[in-house]
């Protein structure tokens, strides 16, 4: 039997989250802090107003930064979706956790449906550690660490899942390839473009609102049950083909991509407000970041901004690796902080 590899948490977002939570664990209630990780998809360093985007269309994220700590020098472990996410959840570099482009063990760095690799049972994920500490764990959105049953997130520490093993690519013809499935826990409840509509012509889709409600409902339930929770909100609205709900379509100066960013910003604001309404904001660490830099190949209408940095997704230049990052924890993280340390 393979030995499960212990991650070096200080090398990852998991280490940052874990370290911040331990630093503030002695709170008023005496209960472990809740953890909320808001992971965006292909969002660039320069997409937020607080990072200098001239449109200034992210008031909620800018407020989150003003009330917490901003990390201008926060890096992903890889400039591509799957390896970055594997590193985030394992605390191990892609070359160690099996997620790098040419690895035969887990060729999951790219996303065609014929990829058969995924996260190894030998890897110990953050939700598995948290479950041992009594947490309830939910993933909302894109998993991207394998679509076969042995790679299912509920086999790797999560208790609930609403989302997909892949991105919302498509539509496919259901002959050569089926449309990407969407799951609630173990049950497939539909497919993108068929049951969860995405209009490729207009960019209209209600997915972000569905994902938002899943997050709000989970936090409410866990507050009622008095069980600490880990919410991993990994939505993909800013990954091409970009989408936004009808309420946000046509509202941004930046076109469809900006519409998606505005809807994400609004959703983050509602999540933070919900935590405050429940009275648990001072017992909940919230961390916002992206899996990799903006995909310039999709710009300008389907891709974001990496600010002053060179290149973007799929490159190891700054634009591909440096990500927007904000930590928010009222009562524990002093407001208005900026950390220029590498993270």
Cβ 21 vs Cβ 33: under 8 Å: yes
Q: What Å distances lie between residue 243 and 10, 34, 147, 203, 259, CA to CA?
A: 35, 30, 23, 5, 8
Answer yes or no: 167 catalytic.
Answer: no
Q: Which of 53, 144, 156, 274 is catalytic?
A: 144
**Helical spans, DSSP H, in the chain:** 13-23, 59-66, 81-90, 94-97, 126-132, 207-225, 256-278, 318-321
Q: Which of 81, 147, 152, 239 is catalytic?
A: 81
For every residue of 154-223, DSSP letters joined together read GGTT-SEEEEESS-------SSSSPPPEEEETTEEEEEBTTTB---TTT-B--HHHHHHHHHHHHHHHHH
Cβ 322 vs Cβ 309: under 8 Å: yes
Residue 315, number of CB atoms within 10 A of its CB: 17
Alpha carbon distance 149, 196 (integer Å): 22
User: Mind spelling out the 3-state secondary structure of 14-36?
Assistant: HHHHHHHHHHCCCCCCCCCCEEE
Alpha carbon distance 230, 73 (integer Å): 25
**Angle at which helices 207-225 and 256-278 cross, to 10°:** 10
Alpha carbon distance 47, 188 (integer Å): 33
Answer yes or no: 144 catalytic.
Answer: yes
∠ CA 329-331-336, nearest 5°, is: 65
Structure token pair of residue 231: 């919410």
Residue 328's H or E segment, with its range, is strand 326-328
Q: Could you list the active site residues?
A: 81, 144
């Amino acid at each position: 039997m393979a030995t499960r590899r212990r991650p070096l948490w200080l090398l990852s977002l998991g280490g940052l989250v874990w370290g911040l939570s331990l630093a503030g664990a002695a709170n008023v209630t005496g209960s472990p802090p809740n953890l909320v990780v808001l992971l965006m998809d292909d969002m660039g360093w320069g997409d937020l107003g607080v990072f200098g985007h001239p449109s200034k269309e992210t008031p909620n994220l800018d407020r989150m930064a003003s009330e917490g700590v901003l990390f201008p020098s926060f890096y992903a472990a890889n400039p591509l979706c799957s390896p970055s996410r594997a590193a985030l959840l394992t605390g191990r570099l892609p070359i160690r956790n099996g997620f790098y482009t040419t690895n035969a063990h887990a060729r999951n760095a790219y996303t065609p449906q014929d990829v058969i690799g995924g996260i190894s049972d030998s890897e110990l994920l953050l939700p598995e550690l948290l479950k041992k500490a009594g947490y309830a764990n939910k993933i909302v959105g894109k998993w991207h660490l394998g679509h076969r049953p042995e790679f299912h997130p509920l086999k790797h520490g999560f208790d609930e899942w609403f989302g997909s093993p892949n991105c919302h690519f498509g539509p496919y013809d259901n002959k050569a390839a089926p449309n990407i499935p969407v799951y609630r826990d173990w049950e497939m409840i539909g497919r993108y473009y068929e049951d969860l509509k995405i209009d490729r012509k207009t960019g209209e889709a209600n997915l972000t609102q569905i994902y938002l409600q899943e997050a709000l409902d989970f936090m409410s339930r866990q507050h009622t049950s008095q069980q600490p929770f880990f919410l991993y909100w990994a939505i993909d609205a800013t990954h091409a083909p970009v989408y936004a709900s009808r309420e946000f379509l046509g509202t941004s100066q930046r076109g469809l991509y900006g519409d998606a960013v505005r809807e994400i910003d609004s959703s983050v604001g509602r999540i933070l407000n919900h935590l405050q309404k429940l009275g648990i904001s001072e017992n909940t660490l919230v961390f916002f970041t992206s899996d990799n830099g903006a995909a310039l190949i999709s710009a300008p209408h389907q891709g974001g901004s990496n600010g002053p940095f060179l290149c973007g997704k799929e490159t190891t230049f700054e634009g591909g690796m440096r990500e927007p990052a904000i930590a928010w924890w009222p009562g524990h993280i002093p407001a208005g902080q900026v950390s220029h340390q590498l993270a």
